[in-house]
Every structure is written in structure tokens, then in C-alpha cells.
A and B are shown apart, each in its own frame.
Chain A
Amino acid sequence: MFKDLKNFSSNSILRYDICIVGTGPAGLSVAKQLLGTDLKIAILESGGLEPEPEYQELNVGINSGPSYLSLDSSRLRCFGGAGKIWAGHCAPFKKDDFEKKSFSSLSGWPITLDDLKVYYMQAAEMLGISYQKFYNKDLLGNTFKEKSFKKFNRNNSFLTTEVYQFSTSENKDFAEKYKIEFETSKNTDVIFHSTATELNLAKNGIDVDSLSISDLNGNSALVKAKIFVLACGALENPRILLTSNKYYKRGIGNNSGFVGSCFMSHPGIENVAEILKTEKKSCIDKYLKKKKYKVSYTTSLKERLESKILRHNLSMKDINDPNDQIFSQKNNCDPIPEKWNLSVGLEQPPRVTNNLKLSNIKDTLGMPKIDMYWDNLSKIEKDTVIKSVKIMARELGVIGAGKIRFKKELLNGNSFNFNDPINHHIGTTRMSDDPQTGVVDKNCKVFGISNLYITSSSVFTTSSIVNPTFTIIALSLRLGKYIKNLEL
């Protein structure tokens, strides 16, 4: 059923079994597992059915670090949340994404790919894609053949490919796809204009007793539930935990100090090098885009681990440089062969210097705004850029397909500037098997709190390089199933 806070009498106490905060892909995926059960569910949405500017304004925050992160452009406070605007590019994490790496100190998830596999399959079904196709060698083989990718498919190639499937617009927006199910559900209330402002702990400091909610017209209420689930993204989840500081000064779940810490995204370092094709029918090509999937390049697992570099992708764009033609005429040399700009997209390692804190400035509801410190790239990130380009140059050299030239600014260390066109927010309430290095355990339960769970990319231990939403949905389906099996 759809409800609105304005229709409740002021300071109401609303009682549910489960309270889910957020109606994005994460929140709706948890809720989907609980539809039709005996449990009474509340799903809280800060905004309404459609985006409203005054509620969007609640996303605005402050950047105090050297790198700029857009805090408001990629988040929607309305039914469906960021699920209404995400690209729909899906790829599962790889087995090694979950594993500890000697060169990345906070890496290593407490779960494995096997723990998520069945939920990836369910997520794929919801998104209208095929999980099996990610591992279908025939599909890859055909793809290579179609675009002369054959040579990159040689045994022991330094490069490999990442296959992404596209979820179509009718499948990727769960709010639209499942709207009627939620609207007509007998055990679920979606409550609009109910922004979570504070989690209230019981006297024992272990149980969340209630959640305070408000709208922008002065209406407020308390939601009491047996289980609370925060599912509002890697910026808002830590904000709520840090704001809820009446019992614990550092906020809820923050004994380790990791709430808001280890923020990660996928910075794109553009135009780091030029590629020159030295054969007419080159085996290299730009992203292969078809209707339902795309293929991008990356370094093979073996080479990546040997080189001690992070996950990344290598993408190419045409260069149409009129100066080349002038140069070749002037110097009476051959026309310059086809050229591409090479860009590198990066996995970020978990770093405590990339963090989100609360600013002294408050929003309309009296909640402290986000103060984001996003640092410059670290050594391992810069190394990944340089080494991955060299590895690609080696592969092109072995197969005789082309040459790569670094941009001079990059060699001088001045070209590592990046902005945030990707808008992936990851890792601020990280999952760990150790309360000293994380915020939630392998079941997404907040350490030290009996009935508080978190889902979204905020719980990712590391960020991989693939788009996070597919994994967010899989993790949330897993959490929904876990809660369903709890004896409440």
C-alpha cells in the first residue's frame, strides 16, 4: 500500500516488523523477498512518487578534499531512487574481487562469489538479463570473430575482456516494474515523504528501538520495528549512522571508526595515452556495443596479480587531429595511421583518507550535511594506470597491432586529474569479518547492534571495476532472504 507521512497524525508511532529505509534498487530488492509473508513491512521513501526539488536539495553537501565528487546529481529522492537513472550496465564481480590481495591492505571480503551466485541469478532474472551469458564462451567467441578480436583471444594474452549486459529501461527501474506489486501488497506499506533523521537506541545501547522520520512540512513520526534496514546508498547510510549520536558520541556502529571511511568510486583518467594502429585491419577496436551487451578490455588476472595492480578497464576513443595531416604533408612522411585516445577506469582501494564526515552546516530538516573528503590518487592507483597502459602496449607489440605513446603530462605526474562522471559511491559502511576493520558482518548486520542491517554499495569491502548496481541487488536479495529466515 502507498501512504504519505502527511496523512498520519503528528508524532504518530508506527509499528512494523521490518522497517526498510530507501526505495532504490537495494531497498526494493530486500522488500521483494519479504512481499507476501506474514511480516509487516514499512518501506520509507524520503521523497514522493516523482522527484521534487525541495527534497532533492537534502542531498546537497560539501566537498573539502582535492577531488570533486558530485553529491547530489546522481541520487534521487523518490520512489525507485537511483534505480530510475542508473545506466543498466550489469556484470557480476569476479571470484578474485572477493579475495585478499597482498598489495591492498583492507581487501578481502568475508563472503565469496559462491555466496552470491544464486542471488546474482535472481537479480539477472529481475533485470531481464542472462546470468549464464556472462560465462558463455561461445558468446565471447562470436563477439571476437565479429569484430576481429581474435588475436586478443590468443592463449596467455596479457589482456582479457569484461562482458557487460544491458538491462532495458522496462527492467532496470524496479519502482516502475514492481509498482503494482508494492501498491497492492497487503503486508507492505511504502511511506512517502518520510526522511529518516535519527536512529534511536534502547537503553541497553544494543537494540535500535525506533527511527525518527520527518517531512519538509513539519510532520514527524516514530517508526518502531523488530528489524531496521538502511538501504539508502553509500552517502546517506553513514550520514544517518553518524547523525544518530545521542548514545554513542561517534555514532551508531562506529566503534571501529570506519563509518564514512574508505569511500571508493571508479575514477576515470582520461586520455592517458595515444594508440596508433600499425596494421590496416587492426584487431583492436573500441567498446563493442550491441543492443544487449558490450565488451571492454582489461589486464588478465595473471598479469594483474603479478603486476600488483588494481582492477581497471581500458577504453578507446577516436582522435581526429587535423594537425596530423598538416604534419605529414609538411614533413613529406606517410599519413598518420588511425589513432585513438586511451583512457583508464580504476578500481579504488579502500583508504581511510577517502572519507565522509558530518559538516557543521545543517539541511532543512536539521540534519548535518555531508562533508566529503575525496583524496588525490594514491601510488597504487597511479601505478595501475601506468602499468596497465604498458601491458596493453606489450599485447599490441606481441600481436603486431599497434603502438602506444604516453601523454607527456602523465609521465611528468601531472595528468592524474579526474572528476566524477561515473557517480559510483562505494564502501562507507564496509563489510568485514573483524569489527575492528568494518561496520557490518557478512550478513550485513551492524557490529554491536542486534537489529540493524545495512545494504547498498556502502557495504562493499572493495569496489571491483564493474558497475555496482547488479551486485547491490544480489546482496540485497541475499539480505532479504536472511531476514525472512530469522525467527522474529
Chain B
Amino acid sequence: MRIIIRFLEEIGSYVLLLKKTFVKPQNIRVFWEHYFRELDDIGLKTTGLISFISFFIGGVVVIQTALNLDNPLIDPSLIGFAAKQSVVLEFAPTLSSVILSGIVGSYIASTIGTMRITEQIDALDVMGVNSANFLILPKILAAVTFYPFLILLSMFLGVFGGWVAGLVTGLVSTPDYIEGIRIGFDPFHFEYSIIKTIVFAFLIATIPSFFGYYVKGGALEVGRASTKAVIWTSVMIVFWNYIITQIMLS
């Protein structure tokens, strides 16, 4: 019972923090400066790793699919089709978001948490700055505007990586692979993935911010908050992935 009450209290605090966050910035010029800084920190700096992972995941999907479809009656273009569907529907938006929750989530929780324990947030508050709005809103906006593009890049690289792997291993020819990609092309799948990504981006920016913002203690607590932030963000991504899929695809 105590755990449930504690959980509900945490949700309440999270909602109240969001309420404090979603107000008009006190200084628009400073807000945009902060936004572009966040675009770099939580956006551009993650592009390399996400691109690398996407490329090789695409390759692995193609190799595994090809090795499991060894029946000569099955059209080889299905390899390309399976790779595209896996990458577009699941690997790019969900797996990349889980990876981002680790990279960006720990970064956000530890930065805000350190600001809390070193009284930098108190300094903002005492100056009259809405610290939640100042620190968290640019992160949310940066994540929800950048990650959809990052995920589109991830999709492209995943499919491209699959083609390269097929070519290198000789498991699938280029015409078959391209034919597979074109089979059952549905723009709605991209819409579904982008909507998922926007929801995940919101979770990636807000949950770690919450854990960092309310941290109490010292370096150990900041570390713990970081770990909790990554765990809860990943859990929430998986949970909302199911909910969105149920709503949009079933």
C-alpha cells in the first residue's frame, strides 16, 4: 500500500513539474539560445551513435531474415520487405528511443541533479527565474523537434545497412532487396513511427528531468537518480509503445 501511495505521489509531482514547465518563457531570446544549445547536446551529439547502431541493426536483420528464409519457394524479395517493416515499425523508433533514453536520460538527470545539489537551481529560483521552465522546456522542445528527423535518418540507415549486408554476404540481390522495400509501402507506417517517436521524445526529456530536478543529497544520489531515470524512461517507452500500437495499428 505504501508503495502505491509513493508511486501516486511521484506521478503527482511529475504532473506538477510539467505544469510549472509548460508556461511562457520569461525571456524568449534566452529560451531560443538555450533551445539551440540543447539541440546540440541532446540531439546532434547522439546522431553518430544512433546512425552507427541503425546501420548495423539493419544489416543484422537482413542476415538473420535471409538465413531463416532458406526455402526456395519463398520469394527473396521478402527479405527486403521484412527488413523494411522491422526497421520502420520497430527498430528505428523504439530501439533507438530506448538507446536514447540511456544516453540522453542519464545526461539530463545528472546535469539537472548536479545543478540541484550545487544550489544552481536555487540560484535560478532566487533570481526569480522559473527554473523548471528554464531548464526543462528547451530540452522537451529540442527532443520532440529533433528526434523525428533522427528516427527518419535511422530508418534510412537501417534499410541501407540491410542492403549493404545483403550485398556483402550475397544473401540477397539488389533488385530483390529494392523490390522487397517497395512491397506494401504504406505511408501510414511512417506516421505511426513518427507519432511514437514524438511521444518517446517527450518521455526521454521529461522523466530524467523529473528525477534530476527533485534529487536530494550528493553525488551518490545524483548517480542513483540517473539510473532510476534511465530505467523508468525505458519502461515507459516500452509501455507507451504497446499502447500506441494498440490504438493505431489494431
> Do A and B truly interact?
no
Residue numbers of B with Cβ under 8 A of A are: none
